[in-house]
Amino acid sequence: MPNCLADTETAGLSPSDPPLAATRLLIRAQEPGDWQEIAALTELPKVRWGTLRLPYIRKDQWRKWMENPPEDRTGVVAVLEGRVVGVAEVFQHKGRRRHVGEFGMAVHDDFHRRGIGSALTAALVDVADNWLDLTRLELTVYVDNEPAIQLYRKFGFEVEGTLRGYAFRAGQYVDSLFMARLRPVGGANDASIGQART
């Protein structure tokens, strides 16, 4: 899911609500049976606002996508009390760019700023660094999605440029930032990999 919405606004939660306890949140592989919850999540207003998803995607398109995922995709979901509350994916490029992955994520409107985006990002950064041998992760994020930008910076993503008039959203063209994270020096065995910057 290029262009990302990560933990942006509270959406009905009090700013004093604590982050979710790690023991309550499960990060696991996407399964074909998740298609209905993922389809519903992508129809939420704030998810659509922060991603390239169009409204009114047919549910059978989601089912087919989840039943036959591309080989180069690693997808995870965040599950809280049996409910999918976030989704993230890395698509590995091929050929001379096989060392590069494209990262995308969405968090349920009702669960922003609760640590779900951080948990999803940490999981896929670990997979990219320690299992796929990716040395570069890329993403795009709308310039007005400051909380997501800060989240990605926390994980070592840096702005490499601005994509002007990148996407048409809610009746107007919006710029995006192109961000990338290069795997830290020390390689996949570096103990700090996959950990957020403080």
Per-residue pLDDT of 120-141, as tens digits, reads: 999 999 999 999 999 999 999 9
- Could you give the CA distance from residue 10 to residue 153 in angstroms, rounded to a whole number? 20
pLDDT digits (tens, 9 = 90+) for 41-57: 888 889 888 888 887 77
Question: Which strands, in side-by-side order, build the sheet including 25-29?
Answer: 25-29, 73-80, 83-92, 100-107, 136-142, 172-182, 158-169
Tokens of 65: 């996508």
The pLDDT, as a whole number, for residue 191 is 41
Q: What's the pTM?
A: 0.80
Domains of the chain: 25-189 (3.40.630.30)
